[in-house]
Structure 1
Amino acid sequence: MASICCHSLSLPPLHNSPKPSLLRHFPTILPKPYPFSRPILNSWSSGIRATNSGSSSTVRDQQGAQRPTDESMSIDNLNSFFNLNLGKWTGSFFQFDADGRLLHKIDTKLAVSSYGEDELISLIQTLYIKQPPSSSSVSGFDDEDDEVEWAEYKIKETNMFTADKYQQIGFFPNERAFSLRYQTAGMLENVLRQGVLGEDDTGEESPRNLKLPSRRPSIVCESCLYSLEKDVRARAFHIMDPKGVIEMLLIFLEERGEGLASHPLISPNMGNTNRISPFLGKWKGHSITKRSGVYGATIAEADIVASLEMDDKGQVIQDIVSTSTGGNVTTTVPWTGIMLNNLVIFDGGYQITLLPGGMYMGCPCDVAKSVAESKSFHLEFCWLESPGKRQRLVRTYDVEGLAVSTTYFYETKL
């Protein structure tokens, strides 16, 4: 792991999203000045910068037809987000350390429902975690056998207010992808620190050796990608401590329905070479960038050509060419890095943690350093579900810790 400086990163109360006029570039500039800020036009965004002349009023679908932007569809957008999540999900929770080592796997179920109408509609989520035989717990789904017990955790409701002000959802309804942030440690307190994922009544950790996050993480970001082939999704969590150091990575791999979900792709025995080899080669695709929040409109689209190679010296070389829609702006960014076990550390202070199952998660080696240098930063989640097809989400933050935009990528291997 790259060395970490000891600047402290604290997040002020979140404010309204920046106005569209400030968001004509990806990455974005700062929404307002503060003591050590300056306008930011560059970020660690995997070398990808897509720009256009301004926020477009319409977006073209794959057939070339125009459709309204999400700016005028906030209620419909929220309803679409709810519908995408509704149902009962069966899956597994995987915890990795910052170096990509699998620490623990636990079976989970998630029940998602909604109530209310229009602006008052809310999403209710209840997480059930399979308990060891000795743990005290409450019953989960009614149709479970008596021998199987599940701890129940209520997750904070999502509604129009929380989605825009606190969670800052970056949602792509057509692509079935979203990213959101947690302003507080509430999710961690309710899930990771109780019952099977925390301390039991005797004060001992159960299960043993499960790493708990700091009491006040600086950033908790959730990125969700849905399978292109079936009703399965991967939800990835970046958890960073108050100093801006990546503390742990979480994956929920879930299938809609009540059957027994099996995820053989997540295996602790996969070697380091196998983890990077699926990503090597040349990729071509398209990106869409949106402002954060339920009112977020598309602000940039671009065609992407990316390559990732390893030379005979063991260096990892990445080249990314981004051409904005209309072809008026083209950006080429080369990256060079080294591979250390499951980590790829690029020059400039950005790291990718390679995970089993065709996934990786990226973040700055030191967010506090980005803050000290008045630089925006980004977090990334990539899922290569099948050979030759991958999806990525990039969540861009300003130096106040405000999530200002989200970019969705779909790419195929050439």
Structure 2
Amino acid sequence: MRIHWVSTIFIVLFKSTSEVGPVLSMWQFDGNGKLLHKVNTRLSAGSYGEDELISLIQTLYIKQPVSSTSISGDEEETEWAEYKIKESNMFTVDKYQQIGFFPNERAFALRYQTAGMLETVLRQGVLGEDDTGEESPKNLKLPSSRPSIVCENCLYSINKDMRARAFHIMDPKGILEMLLIFLEERGSVVDAPPSLEDNSNRIVPFLGRWKGSSVTKRSGVYGATMAEHDTVASLEIDENGLLIQDISSTVKGSDVTANVQWTGTMHDNLIKFDKGFQLTLLPGGMYMGCPTDIAKSVAELKSFHLEFCWLESPDKRQRLVRTFDAEGLAVSSTYIFETKI
């Protein structure tokens, strides 16, 4: 069995000058939502085995930039770097990366120990042959060698055969370092590559009231249980220019309801709430949320969560929330689908 994801990412070890097919792009943003870099890639994935023995094989190709030493006018073939990702046994992934998987929604969340692979992709996709191996290359922001959290949240498109994978990377002190978005479309031919088109006012699509339902799956170390809730969320701007977010969650089939209200301020594309949580607004109807200071939550023995939201159409959105305990272990993953009311 083999599938192809025409993607947007970074990576590479082995160079190839052969054409590997149509490409999409990956976007790197800073914590304020500023676009830093865009890299073209292609991902090929396959699997073998059955049940707990099933393993995933992936090969990532990254389009390299033209070298600064190339002579103007030279007609060189597009150069790609090829990286064979280490085979992953699905049982091992579940045990060590604490995967939160929602098969019906084709959504998942993973955690990583390092960001080494992402650094390699950034170096090859942005610097290519001009990479001199510097620890801090000019005009390229790399993830810390020992990040406190590297988390991937993946949401599948409601309208197309494509997905968005969002990476939170927190520095060793627990502060947001960068955000990565990979858009991937299945197949070998793409009529019009998806794009993260910028919006002059990224907050507008998220304002209003949203109603939906959620599924929460607790990780194995926390009992491997599942719970379903009805949700109502709202985000409004009051007369003083403050953002008011109100979220209520009711256990399905009961009248047990939890309600959380936050007040926040917005500067450019960054929203900071009074409860120590922030949202970075991204183009393409997306936002990513995280604590302003994970270290503070850990010091206070509090759990914390990371969030990815994708609003593909004006009235429908998906959210994926990954909750961690004070020791950095994944407590649960929650998938939410909501409609604007």
- TM-score higher than 0.5: yes
Which of 100, 110, 124 does residue 43 from structure 2 map onto? 110
- Asked if structure 2 preserves the Cα contact closer than 8 Å seen for 1:151 and 1:196, the reply is no
In the alignment, the residues of structure 2 paired with residue 285 and residue 266 of structure 1 have an alpha-carbon distance, to the nearest angstrom, of 25
Q: Which has the higher contact order (CA 8 A, sep 6+)?
A: 1
Deviation track 1:175-221 (CA, whole Å, cap 9, x = no partner) reads 11111111233433543345646784534699962210111111110
Instruction: Report the Cα offset of residue 340 of structure 1.
Output: 1.0
Amino acid at match of 2:321: V
Deviation track 1:13-70 (CA, whole Å, cap 9, x = no partner) reads xxxxxxxxxxxxxxxxxxxxxxxxxxxxxxxxxxxxxxxxxxxxxxxxxxxxxxxxxx
In the alignment, the residues of structure 1 paired with residue 30 and residue 129 of structure 2 have an alpha-carbon distance, to the nearest angstrom, of 19
Amino acid at match of 1:131: Q
Mark the runs of 5 or more structure 1 residues left unpaired by the alignment. 1-82, 137-144
In the alignment, the residues of structure 2 paired with residue 232 and residue 195 of structure 1 have an alpha-carbon distance, to the nearest angstrom, of 22
Equivalence map 1:59-98=2 (5 Å): 86-90=3-7, 91-98=24-31
| Deviating more after overlay: 160-169 vs 217-226 | 160-169
Which of 204, 212, 229 does residue 277 from structure 1 map onto? 204
In the alignment, the residues of structure 1 paired with residue 131 and residue 209 of structure 2 have an alpha-carbon distance, to the nearest angstrom, of 53
DSSP 3-state at the match of 2:25: strand
Instruction: Report the Cα offset of residue 313 of structure 1.
Output: 1.4
In the alignment, the residues of structure 2 paired with residue 296 and residue 100 of structure 1 have an alpha-carbon distance, to the nearest angstrom, of 36
Q: Normalized per residue, which structure has more strand?
A: 2
In the alignment, the residues of structure 2 paired with residue 264 and residue 231 of structure 1 have an alpha-carbon distance, to the nearest angstrom, of 11
In the alignment, the residues of structure 2 paired with residue 231 and residue 359 of structure 1 have an alpha-carbon distance, to the nearest angstrom, of 18
In the alignment, the residues of structure 2 paired with residue 192 and residue 358 of structure 1 have an alpha-carbon distance, to the nearest angstrom, of 24
In the alignment, the residues of structure 2 paired with residue 294 and residue 116 of structure 1 have an alpha-carbon distance, to the nearest angstrom, of 26
- Asked if structure 2 preserves the Cα contact closer than 8 Å seen for 1:392 and 1:408, the reply is yes
Equivalence map 1:207-356=2 (5 Å): 209-260=139-190, 262-263=192-193, 265-268=195-198, 270-271=199-200, 274-292=201-219, 297-356=224-283
Q: Share of identical aligned residues, percent?
A: 73
Instruction: Report the Cα offset of residue 117 of structure 1.
Output: 3.1
- TM-score where L is the length of structure 1: 0.72
- Asked if structure 1 preserves the Cα contact closer than 8 Å seen for 2:214 and 2:334, the reply is yes
Instruction: Report the Cα offset of residue 132 of structure 1.
Output: 1.3
- Asked if structure 2 preserves the Cα contact closer than 8 Å seen for 1:199 and 1:205, the reply is no
Please give the root-mean-square deviation of Cα atoms over the aligned residues, in Å: 2.7
In the alignment, the residues of structure 2 paired with residue 186 and residue 89 of structure 1 have an alpha-carbon distance, to the nearest angstrom, of 22
DSSP 3-state at the match of 1:174: coil
Instruction: Report the Cα offset of residue 353 of structure 1.
Output: 0.3
Instruction: Report the Cα offset of residue 362 of structure 1.
Output: 0.2
Q: 1:275 to 1:296 in 2, by over 3 A?
A: farther
| Deviating more after overlay: 92-101 vs 176-185 | 176-185
Deviation track 1:101-149 (CA, whole Å, cap 9, x = no partner) reads 011111111111112333322101111111112289xxxxxxxx97222
Amino acid at match of 1:152: E
- Asked if structure 2 preserves the Cα contact closer than 8 Å seen for 1:164 and 1:293, the reply is no
In the alignment, the residues of structure 1 paired with residue 138 and residue 269 of structure 2 have an alpha-carbon distance, to the nearest angstrom, of 24
Equivalence map 1:129-144=2 (5 Å): 129-134=62-67
Match of 1:147 in 2: 77
- Asked if structure 2 preserves the Cα contact closer than 8 Å seen for 1:317 and 1:335, the reply is yes
- Asked if structure 2 preserves the Cα contact closer than 8 Å seen for 1:285 and 1:409, the reply is yes
In the alignment, the residues of structure 1 paired with residue 234 and residue 30 of structure 2 have an alpha-carbon distance, to the nearest angstrom, of 27
Mark the runs of 5 or more structure 2 residues left unpaired by the alignment. 8-23, 70-74
2:325 is the alignment partner of 1:383: no
2:100 is the alignment partner of 1:183: no
- TM-score where L is the length of structure 2: 0.86
Deviation track 1:348-375 (CA, whole Å, cap 9, x = no partner) reads 2100000000000000000000001000
Q: 1:317 to 1:295 in 2, by over 3 A?
A: closer
In the alignment, the residues of structure 2 paired with residue 106 and residue 195 of structure 1 have an alpha-carbon distance, to the nearest angstrom, of 6
Deviation track 1:143-168 (CA, whole Å, cap 9, x = no partner) reads xx972221112223221342122211
